[in-house]
Amino acid sequence: MAFGPNTSTVAEEAIARGTAGGSAGTGSSGPRRGTAGGKRRGRRVLLGAVVPLLLLALWQASSTLGWVSENRLPAPLSVLSAGVDLAERGELWTHIGISVQRVLLGFGIGAALGLAVGSLVGLSRRADALLGPTIGAFRAVPSLAWVPLLILWLKIGEDSKVTLIAIGAFFPIFTTIYLALRHVDKNLVEAARAFGLKGLRLLTTVQLPAVVPAIFSGLRLALAQAWLFLVAAELIASSMGLGFLLTDSQNNGRTDRLLLAIILLAVIGKATDALLGIAERKAVARWA
């Protein structure tokens, strides 16, 4: 079967239209659906704020009415005051900046490796047989078990922390990609191969676009895991960062700063996840 010089390009366009989920022909209802989607997201935001506000009110009542002692549970204003104090001294932004930098570096490295190795193992039965059991065994190792080895090899520095975070980010995206690629529509792949697509071009043109939702699910799990591994690294061997702020506050009996660090981890973690969610919606609209 012979193909002209532009056959692969035509095939890529055809397959891309196929993986787009038949979105063509909906232009007239686009603005209306966009408005409805905006309203739904607004309602979700309002509903999502209900529980945090109730917890804040319960927290304030517990402190005001003396249900819990101030030493064990400082009032929200005390925690806010501790944050303002650290910010004025310049320490708060240093802790936040260092932790965010470590997470982004580790997450980026781990996600890239997870995507590459997950694609390899998911598409090759030989690679699956060779690497699958070993990766599965390493996945079962608890995060804290890596810390002494990384400190021994890489010393107490940024390299050991970023490596630990990368390990945490690797496994969720690897597992998600590996399983998703195993369930890509075989008819779609065969059609692409009939048009002459193979190897890396087949992967990037057909197979990865077909599993875009799974990719972002894995990325969001990997990001959450990266924050968990960050705290594990900073709790044990660090002189700055939000994990260090937790340990230092515990040692000095500063429950207000300890709660501040926990809240900051929750807020920043949710913010980074929300950014990935925005990217996911755009990618799904484009590819899936």
Q: What's the number of domains the chain is made of?
A: 2
Mark whether 206 and 66 lie in a shared domain.
Answer: no
Tell me: do 151 and 256 sit in the same domain: yes
Domain span holding position 55: 29-73
Instruction: Look at residue 18 and tell me if it is in a domain.
Output: no
Same domain, 104 and 247: yes
| Residue type at position 186 | K
64 and 159 within one domain: no
Residues 148 and 50 in one domain: no
Question: Residues 190-200: pLDDT tens digits?
Answer: 777 777 777 77
Does 4 reside within a domain? no
pLDDT tens-place string over residues 112-158: 999 999 989 988 889 989 998 999 899 888 877 888 888 888 888 88
Token pair for 155? 């010393």
Distances in Å between the Cα of 245 and the Cα atoms of 94, 140, 229 are: 11, 29, 15
The reported pLDDT for the residue numbered 221 is 94
Which 8-state DSSP code applies to residue 3? -
Assign 38 a pLDDT band (cuts: 50, 70, 90): low
Whether residues 67 and 134 fall in one domain: no
- What is this structure's pTM? 0.79
- C-alpha 57/C-alpha 264 separation (Å) is 18
Q: Note whether residue 256 is domain-resident.
A: yes
- Closest to 227 measured CA to CA, from 272, 192, 285, 184: 272
Residue at 98 is within a domain: yes
**Triad 138, 272, 276: Cα angle to 5°:** 80
> pLDDT tier at 32 (50, 70, 90 boundaries)?
low
Question: 182 or 261, which is more confident?
Answer: 261
